Amino acid sequence: MASIRHLKQDINYVLGDIIDAAIIHQGAHPESDHKKSEEIIDDSIKTFDALIARVNDRSVENRASHLKQVRVDLQNEANQLADRINAL
């Protein structure tokens, strides 16, 4: 498995790109209501905080499977957030 540092970087880059996409949408559509894109940004930040906390949790019994599950959860959350951006 890739290092923990790479997992943290992946979390940062993926969720950062989602936030960037929401901000770009706001700039491209200044006349529209930005509530939904702001909610996506807020949810991205909450997801980031939760995933980083899970990566830093050393009290789990099987760390390798725990980190694999964090990666799967990152993919699922990122797909859901991307779908919400695409629906704007």
pLDDT of residue 46: 97
pLDDT of residue 3: 86
Rounded to two decimals, what is the model's pTM? 0.89
Contact between 38 and 88 under an 8 Å Cβ cutoff? The reply is no
Q: How far apart are CA 32 and CA 68, in angstroms?
A: 39
**Residue 36: what are its φ and ψ, rounded to 5°?**
-65, -40
Q: What is the DSSP track for 22-76?
A: HHHHHHH-TTS--HHHHHHHHHHHHHHHHHHHHHH----S-HHHHHHHHHHHHHH
Structure confidence by residue, pLDDT tens digits, 31-61: 888 899 999 999 999 999 999 999 999 898 9
pLDDT of residue 88: 86
